[in-house]
Structure 1
Amino acid sequence: MEATTPKKSFFKKIIAIILGFGPGIFAIGYTIGTGSVTSMIVAGSKFNMQLLWVLLISCIFSGILMFAYGNYALLTGETALFGFKKHFKFGKVLAIAIIIGITFGQWNSLMGILGISSNIIFEILAVNFEGLSAYKYETVLITAIVIIVIFYLLMLVGKYTFFEKILVIFVTLMGMSFVLSLCFVQPLTIDVVKGLLPTIPDVPGGQMLVAAFVGTTMASATFLSRPLFVKGKGWTIKNLGQQKRDSITAAVLIFIISGVIMAVAAGALYYQGKEVTQVLDMANTLEPVAGKWAVTIFFFGALSAGLSSIFPCLLIAPLLIADYQSGELDTNSKQFRIITFIACLVALIGPAFGANPIEIQILSQVFNVFVLPIVILGIILMLSNKKVMKDYKTSLGVYIGLYAALFFSLVISYNGVIALLDYF
């Protein structure tokens, strides 16, 4: 009995640490979904580790923005859009524009997420049931409907803590799956080092992937929703230190998990000269190295990433609207149910039309960058407002980081416009 007690207590401590993760888990849920997974895999398969520097810079800026928005909420008791509306002269127009822009990007992303998740489940089933291949469209569509109905029903009964714990489970499974995949294939160390040097691939699609990287890693929804999640956690001004650590932890985990996904794709695909165009391409080249298990492990990680993103994407529109109205989210309200139901219908558009979910996902991430400069400028103005912040003074280092993030977002937005003009 004495020998087993320490093991149990240690195991319980590990579980407690995982389940004790704060609002940063939503940041990971928003950021590392199938959009991020797709972008990282496509980039790794096409350009090796060349875009690792974009990921690193995006994660640094993401950490700063999460910290800034979280501190604003704890110090003022207000949420972001409600604060914009209250304190800015044209705050109402700005807030509405942000809601429309972010909702458009996230709902487009939701189409790709549901499409890829449904395709992953189909591919796993097709491995075991060969006759199912002739009914791909029907199977994918039915799977998509089942997934979105289950998530909608969970949305109706869930609270903040419920959503948080489900996300912790999915994110943990996702991280473990991709780390396990990395054990089978790795990129060359020199390629990882070179990837930290800023360069943009001078090939078709290079600029779009850079924009997609930033769109998925520096997601505006992550920062704007943070005040609501911080309040939902029950944190107050006494939790400023905890809020800071949570922001840093979230940014570090986003970089590690995303970097691992890119490394797996580089090791498995780039060196063989193969690119990703369909969902099955994301795992098939692992098969010669690790057999059928590689497909299962890799798809399980991608599926966990997709499912971890559905909750945040369904939540974003009611979150932003509730933020604008009063700064409080009521998951039992009629408004919440109607908006999330509309989001579920939008999510089914991609699978219903049989669209390529990978293309949808990449494009949706590019659209996300255009609202980012406004979101960054908004928090800079709020933190600079003495009437709002009263006696609290933001450090020079945070301001430097925010202005650097603003400049970076403007450059990437311009890059995104050029990429979309070339695409269309």
Structure 2
Amino acid sequence: MFKWFKNIGPGALVAAAFIGPGTVTLCTLAGVNYGYSLLWAMTLSIIATIVLQGMAARVGIVTQKGLATVIKEQISSPILRKLAILLILAAIVIGNTAYEAGNISGAALGIEAIFGNSSFNFYPFLIGLIAFILLYVGNYKFLERSLIALVLLMSSSFLITAIITKPSLNTLFKGMFIPSFPENSMLTIIGLIGTTVVPYNLFLHASLVKERWKSKSDLKFAKKDTLISIILGGIVSMAIIVAASSINNSSITNGADLAQGLAPLYGDFAKYFLGIGLFAAGITSAITAPLAAAYVANSCFDWNAGLKSLKFRIVWSIILIVGVLFSSLKINPIEIIKFAQVSNGILLPIIALFLLWVVNKTSVLGEFKNKVSQNIISVIIILITIILGFKSILKVFEIF
């Protein structure tokens, strides 16, 4: 374990990306409103994330190309290629914009928990400015690692809190492995999947692994990195649900309310720990989401642009600005975060289908293409996400 932490890989960054403010908020709401009954959604999400991120990593290492580039190269028809690019761009841009609003809103909740409300709703603009400076300068690695350390502090707090609440192991395992659908829980279930299996992470992971590993023989290292990272991240998410199930207040509306999940461990200091963690998670995610969108656009349009090129900066600037504007509107930030996760849950099947198609092509992966067992698991996961996504759309429009 020590050696793994010393040689931390792309999988850990992916895990850190999905343990953002959206995860903390939505898992807290799931625990408060439904207890342990939605833990199964996290179990499904962990399995789906391991499978999908593993395939994305395999594409990146074997081809030494980004996922968007590979997909584009495999479509021979110019018309279909343009449609595919448009679909990928739409999915990533829409998803990342919603996700960015959730990231900034989550970071704002963190500041709000510590310093109280801002009469002019100033916090989203402050967070947007910080993220803009870090992205523009490009020298944010040290700060990013510091922020991830803060997120790990908050994650550890939830793990300890979950243990302190002394959950019933029988009820816990029942919630983890037996699906149930409590009344009005469908959007929360989709959100839990959307906050864990993040579509833009598939593109980000494929790009990161090709920078870290250059040989096909390194696939075993990438697999181990992904497996350990995602499982640890999933355990933290489950711990948040377990810890939050002890909260008696069903009307969670701000960071101070969310801090009740940490109250058994830290008492009056809970809001400070949660506030710092939410802020750290929000800033970290507010950097990665726009970057991922810029990388996808870079691949789709064959720009070959660097981090500091004008085109690259324009893409991430648009995502960041729109995210700030949405998070600064007089909308309950909890609702923005929930919408971000639900939108990701709906967009996931689109990206997953493209990924599944690519990893089954011999011309792309050769002997490393998907096996039958991998295809069966992948198809089941995609079908489940399609069904749940369809139900969530009906739910939103109150058709079903």
| Aligned residue number for residue 58 of structure 1 | 45
**CA radius of gyration, larger in:** 1
Provide the TM-score with structure 1 as the length reference.
0.85
Identity of aligned residues (%): 23
Look up the equivalent residue of 2:187 and give its one-letter code. M
SS where residue 422 of structure 1 aligns? coil
Look up the equivalent residue of 2:334 and give its one-letter code. I
Task: Indicate yes or no: 2:91 matched with 1:91.
Answer: no
Please say which of residues 65-74 and 149-158 is displaced more in the overlay: 149-158
| Aligned residue number for residue 6 of structure 1 | none
Mapped partners of 2:9, 2:269: distance in 1: 33
Look up the equivalent residue of 1:276 and give its one-letter code. I
Task: Indicate yes or no: 2:367 matched with 1:382.
Answer: no
Mapped partners of 2:201, 2:375: distance in 1: 19
CA-CA distance at 1:240 after TM superposition: 0.8
CA-CA distance at 1:310 after TM superposition: 1.4
Mapped partners of 2:213, 2:199: distance in 1: 23
SS where residue 274 of structure 1 aligns? coil
Question: CA deviation digits over 1:392-411, x for unaligned, max 9?
Answer: 34333322221122212211
Mapped partners of 2:337, 2:89: distance in 1: 20
Mapped partners of 1:237, 1:294: distance in 2: 46
Question: CA deviation digits over 1:228-281, x for unaligned, max 9?
Answer: 1112335432321111111111220221110111111012x1xx3634233321
1:110 to 87, 100, 106: 100
Task: Indicate yes or no: 2:190 matched with 1:211.
Answer: yes
| Aligned residue number for residue 156 of structure 2 | 176
Mapped partners of 2:89, 2:150: distance in 1: 27
Mapped partners of 2:67, 2:134: distance in 1: 26
1:222 to 190, 198, 201: 201
CA-CA distance at 1:329 after TM superposition: 5.8
2:138 to 154, 158, 164: 158
SS where residue 122 of structure 2 aligns? helix
| Aligned residue number for residue 220 of structure 2 | 241
| Aligned residue number for residue 202 of structure 1 | 182
Contact kept? 2:24, 2:240, Cα under 8 Å: yes
Contact kept? 1:200, 1:210, Cα under 8 Å: no
Contact kept? 1:228, 1:329, Cα under 8 Å: no
Task: Indicate yes or no: 2:243 matched with 1:256.
Answer: no
| Aligned residue number for residue 269 of structure 2 | 293
Task: Indicate yes or no: 2:119 matched with 1:137.
Answer: yes
SS where residue 151 of structure 1 aligns? helix
| Aligned residue number for residue 10 of structure 1 | none
Q: 1:333 to 1:257 in 2, by over 3 A?
A: same
Question: CA deviation digits over 1:268-303, x for unaligned, max 9?
Answer: x1xx36342333211146547742122222333333
Q: 1:400 to 1:256 in 2, by over 3 A?
A: same
Look up the equivalent residue of 1:73 and give its one-letter code. G
1:79 to 66, 69, 84: 66
CA-CA distance at 1:158 after TM superposition: 2.5
Look up the equivalent residue of 1:314 and give its one-letter code. P
Task: Indicate yes or no: 2:334 matched with 1:334.
Answer: no
Look up the equivalent residue of 1:244 and give its one-letter code. K
| Aligned residue number for residue 310 of structure 1 | 286
1:402 to 374, 378, 383: 378
Which structure 1 segments of 5+ residues have no match? 1-12, 127-132
Q: 1:328 to 1:63 in 2, by over 3 A?
A: farther
| Aligned residue number for residue 343 of structure 1 | 319
Contact kept? 2:12, 2:226, Cα under 8 Å: no
SS where residue 403 of structure 1 aligns? helix
Look up the equivalent residue of 1:94 and give its one-letter code. A
Question: CA deviation digits over 1:315-353, x for unaligned, max 9?
Answer: 121021112234956211111222222222112223432
CA RMSD of aligned residues (A): 2.6
2:55 to 63, 68, 71: 68
Mapped partners of 2:303, 2:54: distance in 1: 19
SS where residue 359 of structure 2 aligns? helix
CA-CA distance at 1:61 after TM superposition: 1.3
Please say which of residues 285-294 and 45-54 is displaced more in the overlay: 285-294
Q: 1:393 to 1:182 in 2, by over 3 A?
A: closer
Mapped partners of 1:87, 1:202: distance in 2: 43
Which structure 2 segments of 5+ residues have no match? none
Look up the equivalent residue of 1:208 and give its one-letter code. L
CA-CA distance at 1:163 after TM superposition: 7.8
SS where residue 397 of structure 2 aligns? helix
| Aligned residue number for residue 4 of structure 1 | none
Please say which of residues 183-192 and 35-44 is displaced more in the overlay: 183-192
CA-CA distance at 1:304 after TM superposition: 2.8
